Structure 1
């Protein structure tokens, strides 16, 4: 699919079509989405792909089944596969914390014992946890909110080598030997590049782009850029590292309404207290300051610039001043803003990015990054912790795809900026729309301007709220554009955000200002006039409905 051909696709079509590692799927009607979130087997069965943290990719499912078959697990036992022992252990701990320490969760690790290349030895190694089917929902929550699950390409790699793998476990019944021993038949690694060089190049690209715009600011070192298999892995890693030791009280703040998994991830990281300031306003900063003045201690504050899906900007300057005074660490997710548009490193201690989104653009690979601010008072602590604890779990083929995809990142951001601004301005003329959220049009627009780079724009994300629920449904059902999860793709994606991200908590989300029928639009690279024509036709359908 090219960016010049904006259109909708049948239910379940992978987005982009034909790519088995696509990270989105077409959900063309409102009912399709509601049915999917309710677990409708007919809808679920038609999906060729989906966002990888929200489901088990076909390659991952096959690897799960291979593990269960190898160890002879009973029918009621389920499996989840992780790229490292530490990741599997985190899932086991999550299940014990959520379901009780007495439930049975077993771990098993697979590896190649034959004489093989170093790449095969490293990347064909994985760990799995086995648990009763009744705990599947809890395990799925961990998979979704922490991002630790194995990637589809890594699972595919392990599947091809599975007959040659042996397993070890503290449970004797889970120990097994390889079923094939002709090591000469082990496939070579399917890449011809240096994984180290590829990842170093990605880090170098990010380090240059994230470097502050101010004159005489030294370039960020690639050594201060850390890569992760997913953006949520970066958030969870930083959140966990920042939990103080048991002798100190600890609290975490999520400031402003962020992407739905972020508060759940931070809350589950082990803090004694967690506070969610959902509006991200100056009044809430007043509340935070009063709490700090009264002696309440926090270790970390997480925020986004701008936020997803309301496009609001936090007062980073004031947050920085509070952090310096009360000694907490500020972690800012700039995925929506992008390195090209916003300049936030001088105000925060860590910049987090989901590389899955605009950095890749192709919607066919997952990745994340964390960049440390070397001028931060927390730098030495964070550097030592990450040096000790960070695992390189970004699969080499995923890294290769990321690097290929990101080479035109700046130009793509500029095109998306232009398209989105034109669409946001176009939407203002329609009375059917109650609110348009775009960084230049929301109450916090002056704050965004403080952190916008001199040549930066306002990004590719718009959200809007129709005056009526029925109008939102008509708009979604009729607009002839790609419809499904994720943002930052080279093609435009439309989604009724709350119906997916907050399907089980719609009333709660609406009480915090996220309407049940809010529509999120991730604007792509298609022809501007073609996109506006699509929006106009759908909005004319809305008008016709409202006249009935």
Structure 2
């Protein structure tokens, strides 16, 4: 199993040691690969912090290591793996033990602004040029030996990304997440002005309160880690039917969790009774809306309980998106998967976490982050994510409109038992409480058929892409429950998540075209006969 840093690999080993039999855990070993700083090319490579740590294990230990990799989201991206593999083949990535004594490897503790005050364009981070090596806009930016190194890297590894823009790209992503950067213009090397306003409704929100991660699960995992580090070992609450790995994180990392799977008012009544009886919790984790039933918990009431009984509120806004809703006002931490519609192009992963500066835990969370946060978001991934997200707001508008049009086709159809969509759910008032002026209801919906056979016929006939993700620029249809909960179908059904559920992630196609596709699939389902 490959990880981006020595510390993360050590966490994987600790997880296996705490969950596997001692004899199985004893099979683990670690290999740390680092940049050969004695090579002339190393100067141009330092900015990337190229490193790989491998956890080697027996077949018996592999399932335990895989659990850590899957739930934590701490693995390496394909771009990091490809880049480091190229270095390894060419002898530029070597065992860390072979690096000469007294030569320190550059730590990746996050952007310098998290370490000490410094302007966005400070320093002399290496970059790779588009066009003539060592030039940008006709200006020579390199001393000769570094120009030579940049040329070497570009020619050897085929890279043509302007790495000097990486910190600017990450800054632009963070500001977009804050709702403080609405421009879709190309990024320039000029430093961005101070962030003065945002659409989150939090006047004192700063760019430094937004953290980027390699994927959405890693954002959730690190939000949980930060709260454990800040507040100590306490159980958490998973409120509402969750994305699979969120519940696993809360169950397997730390003292465990209490699960309220319906996200209903009666669930809140039960939680309040527990709190009244003296039980205390680390945090409530919830999705808004939930996946796949699009249920919206009562954030107003959750916030009131959190203030009274001293627990944090962590809201996953991936499905609602901050272009439609504002949940930060009720949250201590807001997490999101940027892999979904924020990117849309399904060619890069990413995640984010926002610390609410008005949270009672803000100071201690920031102190924990200063000690432990590692910026492992690979530079090339950040460049692609920034490019993809420039038209995020306009794409959300289109997805909202297309989803509404599809709902109008599905709602009156007699084959459909239930349509799940925030606008038509019983929990719609909770959604309206946080919906932004002009915001829509998102691009995700689920339908449950009266007949399992009709669900199968519809799925076979629907002429869309089919797969388990969501938030792509094209429509995706998925038999979500069979994919995510195949080994626990009865358990899922007990929370209303039925096997015949079909989840639809709505894309940006022409509305009339999409409507026609869904009408045809429903007609095919109507005309189908029962399967034996």
TM class, shorter-chain normalised? 0.7 to 0.9
Q: Which string of whole-angstrom CA distances, capped at 9 and with x for unpartnered residues, describes residues 224-279 of structure 1?
A: 11000011111111112212689x66110010112111100122221x24101000
Aligned with 2:424: secondary structure? coil
- Flag structure 1 segments of 5+ consecutive residues without an equivalent: 1-79, 171-182
SS at match of 1:487: coil
Counterpart of 1:124 in structure 2 is: 50
Distance, in Å, in 2 between the alignment partners of 1:121 and 1:363 is: 26
Aligned to 1:451: 434
- Tell me, yes or no, if structure 1 residue 264 matches structure 2 residue 248: yes
Separation in structure 2 between the aligned mates of residue 249 and residue 135 of structure 1, nearest angstrom:
26
| 1:207 pairs with 2:174 | no
Provide, for residues 269-305 of structure 1, a one-character-per-residue CA deviation record: whole Å limited to 9, x for no partner.
21x2410100000101111111011111101110111
Matches for 1:212-291 after TM superposition, within 5 Å: 217-218=202-203, 220-243=205-228, 250-270=234-254, 272-291=255-274
Q: What is aligned with 1:417? A: 400
Offset of 1:478 from its aligned partner? Answer: 1.3
Tell me whether 183-192 or 489-498 shows the greater mean CA deviation: 183-192
CA contact (8 A) 1:352 1:370 kept: yes
Counterpart pick for 1:495 among 474, 478, 492: 478
Query: How far 1:510 sits from its partner (Å)?
Result: 1.3
The alpha-carbon distance between structure 1 residues 118 and 390, as it changes in their structure 2 partners (threshold 3 A), is: farther
Per the alignment, residue 22 of structure 2 pairs with 101
| TM-score of the pair, normalised by structure 1 | 0.79
Residue aligning to 2:423? 440
CA displacement 1:395-437 (0-9 Å, x = unmatched): 1110000000000000000000000011012101211111100
Give the match for residue 535 of structure 1. 518
How many residue pairs were aligned? 454
Q: Secondary structure at the match of 1:226?
A: strand
In structure 1, distance between residues paired with 2:264 and 2:198: 25
Q: Map 1:102-501 to 2 at 5 A.
A: 102=23, 103=25, 104-113=27-36, 114-115=38-39, 116-117=42-43, 119-120=45-46, 122-163=48-89, 164=91, 165-168=93-96, 187=156, 190-194=160-164, 195-208=166-179, 217-218=202-203, 220-243=205-228, 250-270=234-254, 272-501=255-484
Seen in structure 2, the aligned counterparts of structure 1 residues 288 and 169 have a Cα distance that, compared at 3 Å, is: farther
Q: For 2:452 and 2:400, how far apart are their aligned partners in 1?
A: 28
> By how many angstroms is 1:364 displaced?
0.9
Cα deviation 1:60-88 (Å, max 9, x = unaligned)? xxxxxxxxxxxxxxxxxxxx111111221
Instruction: Determine if the alignment matches structure 1 residue 82 to structure 2 residue 3.
Output: yes
1:316-351: CA deviation from partner (whole Å, max 9, x where unpaired): 111111111111111100000001000111111111
Alignment gaps of 5+ in structure 2:
99-148, 182-196
Shift in alpha-carbon separation, 1:138–1:503, aligned structure 2, 3 A: farther
Instruction: Return the offset for 1:158.
Output: 0.5
Query: What's the offset of the Cα at 1:457?
Result: 0.3
Q: How big is the shift at 1:474?
A: 1.1
Task: Tell me: higher relative CO, structure 1 or 2? Use CA pairs within 8 A at least 6 residues apart.
Answer: 1
Greater CA drift, 84-93 or 406-415: 84-93
Q: Is the 8 A contact 2:180 2:199 kept in 1?
A: no
SS at match of 2:161: coil
Distance 2:205 2:343 in 1: 21
Alpha carbons 1:355, 1:367 under 8 Å: kept: yes
Cα pair 1:243 1:269 within 8 Å, conserved: no
CA contact (8 A) 2:213 2:352 kept: yes
Deviations 1:159-182 (A, max 9, x none): 111031211469xxxxxxxxxxxx
Residue 438 of structure 1: CA displacement? Answer: 0.1
Instruction: Output the CA distance in 1 between the equivalents of 2:76 and 2:247.
Output: 22
- Retained in 2: the 8 A contact 1:356–1:365? yes
Indicate the SS of the match to 2:179.
helix
Match 2:507 to one of 485, 501, 524? 524
Q: Deviations over 1:430-457 (max 9, x none)?
A: 1111110000111101110001001100
Runs of 4+ in 1 over 4 A off after TM superposition: 183-186, 209-215
Worse-superposed segment, 120-129 or 80-89: 120-129
Q: 1:212 to 1:328 in 2, by over 3 A?
A: farther
| 1:143 to partner: Cα distance | 2.0
Question: Displacement, 1:378?
Answer: 1.1
Cα distance in 1 for residues equivalent to 2:288 and 2:424: 15
Work out the CA distance in 2 between the residues paired with 1:90 and 1:214. 34
Report the 3-state secondary structure (helix = DSSP H, G, I; strand = E; otherwise coil) of the residue aligned with 2:61: helix
For residues 464 and 81 of structure 1, what CA distance do their matches in structure 2 show? 38
Give the corresponding residue for 2:138: none
Q: Deviations over 1:6-35 (max 9, x none)?
A: xxxxxxxxxxxxxxxxxxxxxxxxxxxxxx
Q: CA deviation at 1:100?
A: 2.4
Looking at structure 2, the residues matched to 275 and 467 of structure 1 have their Cα atoms a distance apart, in angstroms, of 32
